[in-house]
């Protein structure tokens, strides 16, 4: 199983981090050891002092695919959920400055909490899925799939040119604006269409 994450898929978030709008989807990987499931707590890692949350819609791959064509892309996933692309922003900023990879900043243990999934049939329109993240009961990020520059199908078409997707892979589809730091004792709760699918305590 692998975890593929799209970076820079919402214009408002690109602006908040002063990044350029990409001409094709930017993506990176997290190892399977990043996965955190069943609402288990996230333990603040000792090597960072600036861990940020990034709430993202997540698609779960249901079959093997390579060079997926747009018209068939929708058949490669049948569940949508929500996850947190936990990021060591201090380490990422240092890596960006030096032109170094993001492996530590994005791929450390537990950096991918993932919640419950909903069948695609649950949604009236995949291009209009509302989601939000609460930090200690206050909404800090709000997104809608209509605001993605590259939709679920576009993402699969792009990634599968380079990497075969397999059953059980997760694809994080990018974060909207509002990312920010967490501290020990915080509680993160992520919702899709007002249904709470993920809860994560920072320990
Ligand atoms: Mg992200």
- pLDDT tier, 23 (very low <50, low <70, confident <90, very high otherwise): confident
Give ∠ CA 80-84-88 in degrees, rounded to 5: 150
Question: What does the pLDDT look like over 26-85, one tens digit per residue?
Answer: 999 999 999 999 999 999 999 999 999 999 999 999 999 999 999 999 999 999 999 999
Does residue 95 carry a pLDDT above 90? yes
Instruction: State the distance from the centre of ligand 1 to the C-alpha of 59, rounded, in angstroms.
Output: 14
Instruction: State the distance from the centre of ligand 1 to the C-alpha of 139, rounded, in angstroms.
Output: 18
Question: What does the pLDDT look like over 136-153, one tens digit per residue?
Answer: 999 999 999 999 999 999
Residues 6+ apart with CB under 8 A from 108: 34, 45, 47, 86, 88
Instruction: State the distance from the centre of ligand 1 to the C-alpha of 107, rounded, in angstroms.
Output: 11
Instruction: State the distance from the centre of ligand 1 to the C-alpha of 144, rounded, in angstroms.
Output: 15
Q: What are 17's two structure tokens? A: 């981090």
Instruction: State the distance from the centre of ligand 1 to the C-alpha of 175, rounded, in angstroms.
Output: 5
pTM exceeding 0.75: yes
The DSSP letter of residue 202 is: B
Q: In which domain, by residue range, is 126 found?
A: 3-201
Q: How do beta strands 26-30 and 55-61 pair?
A: unpaired
Instruction: State the distance from the centre of ligand 1 to the C-alpha of 79, rounded, in angstroms.
Output: 19
CATH of the domain at 107: 3.90.850.10
Instruction: State the distance from the centre of ligand 1 to the C-alpha of 5, rounded, in angstroms.
Output: 6
Residues 6+ apart with CB under 8 A from 98: none
CB-proximal residues (5 Å) to ion ligand 1: 54, 85, 175
Total number of domains constituting the chain: 1
CA–CA gap between residue 184 and residue 191 (Å, rounded) = 21
């Amino acid at each position: 199983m692998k975890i593929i994450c799209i970076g820079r898929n919402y214009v408002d978030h690109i602006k908040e981090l002063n990044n350029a709008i990409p001409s094709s989807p930017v993506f990176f990987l997290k190892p399977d050891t990043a996965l955190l499931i069943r609402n288990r707590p996230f333990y603040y890692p000792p090597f960072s002092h600036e861990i940020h949350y990034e709430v993202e819609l997540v698609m779960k791959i249901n079959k093997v695919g390579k060079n997926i064509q747009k018209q068939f892309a929708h058949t490669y996933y049948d569940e949508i959920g929500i996850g947190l692309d936990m990021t060591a922003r201090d380490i990422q900023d240092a890596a960006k400055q030096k032109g170094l990879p993001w492996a530590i900043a994005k791929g450390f243990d537990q950096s991918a909490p993932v919640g419950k999934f909903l069948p695609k049939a649950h949604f009236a329109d995949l291009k209009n899925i509302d989601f939000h993240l609460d930090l200690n009961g206050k909404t800090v990020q709000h997104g809608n799939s209509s605001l993605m520059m590259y939709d679920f199908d576009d993402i699969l078409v792009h990634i599968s040119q380079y990497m075969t997707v397999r059953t059980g892979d997760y694809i994080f589809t990018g974060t909207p604006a509002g990312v920010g730091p967490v501290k020990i004792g915080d509680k993160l709760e992520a919702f899709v269409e007002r249904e709470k699918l993920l809860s994560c305590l920072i320990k």
